[in-house]
């Protein structure tokens, strides 16, 4: 079964999502979702989604860092906390959602992972993103980043689906 066929897109945030809490105006938003087998927790979803970064994503991040460093934008070195494997700061969390984000001179963004158990055999998982442009550079930057953002989010959800599918307790 191909998980790509099961990824959905919506421009509307899931009901009761906490991603927009304390966020400035929204210039861009998206929500991608996938239905995974079994009942999973937000911690399991986070581990499967952010636990291992593919090499091609690391390569893209390396290129991005080399391009933006001369512009004075934050690089991975300024963002990544020594005690964490997550690239971005956890801002909010509850039993069903974790919101990560960063604020920089060019734009502010939030991304969240949210689980909605439908039954003991199925869980919907959503990855939402919000962006606020602080200036023209933010708009230009995200114009070039957006196609890669979409590919990375879809890849993350496919990886999550595959990991949950092969998990022994399913």
User: What digits encode the pLDDT tens for the residues 81-132?
Assistant: 444 445 677 889 999 999 988 888 888 999 999 999 998 889 999 999 999 9
Q: What is the pTM (predicted TM-score) of this model?
A: 0.80
**Residue-level pLDDT at 134:** 95
Contact (CB, 8 A) for 45 and 33: no
Looking at the predicted structure, is the pLDDT value of residue 170 above 60? no
**Residue-level pLDDT at 73:** 62
Q: Which CATH class is domain 3-165?
A: alpha beta
Query: Residue 156's pLDDT band (boundaries 50, 70, 90)?
Result: confident
Residue ranges covered by each domain of the chain: 3-165
**Residue-level pLDDT at 34:** 94
d(CA 11, CA 92): 21
d(CA 25, CA 88): 20
The DSSP 8-state label assigned to residue 13 in this structure reads P
Query: Residue 168's pLDDT band (boundaries 50, 70, 90)?
Result: low
Query: Residue 144's pLDDT band (boundaries 50, 70, 90)?
Result: confident
User: What digits encode the pLDDT tens for the residues 29-75?
Assistant: 999 999 998 899 999 998 887 756 656 566 656 666 666 666 666 55
Please give the torsion angle defined by the CA atoms of residues 128, 15, 91 and 38, in that order, rounded to the nearest 10 degrees: -70
């Amino acid at each position: 079964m191909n998980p790509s066929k099961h990824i959905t897109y919506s421009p509307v945030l899931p009901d009761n999502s906490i991603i927009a809490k304390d966020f400035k105006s929204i210039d861009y938003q998206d929500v991608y979702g996938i239905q995974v087998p079994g009942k999973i927790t937000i911690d399991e979803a986070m581990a499967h989604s952010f636990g291992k970064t593919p090499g091609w994503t690391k390569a893209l991040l390396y290129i991005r860092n080399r391009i933006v460093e001369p512009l004075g934008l934050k690089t991975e070195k300024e963002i990544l906390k020594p005690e964490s494997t997550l690239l971005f700061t956890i801002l909010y969390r509850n039993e069903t959602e974790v919101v990560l984000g960063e604020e920089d001179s060019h734009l502010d963004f939030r991304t969240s992972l949210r689980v909605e158990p439908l039954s003991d055999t199925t869980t919907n998982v959503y990855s939402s993103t919000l962006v606020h442009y602080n200036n023209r550079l933010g708009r230009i930057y995200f114009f070039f980043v957006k196609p890669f953002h979409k590919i990375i989010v879809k890849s993350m959800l496919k990886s999550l689906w595959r990991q949950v599918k092969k998990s022994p307790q399913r």
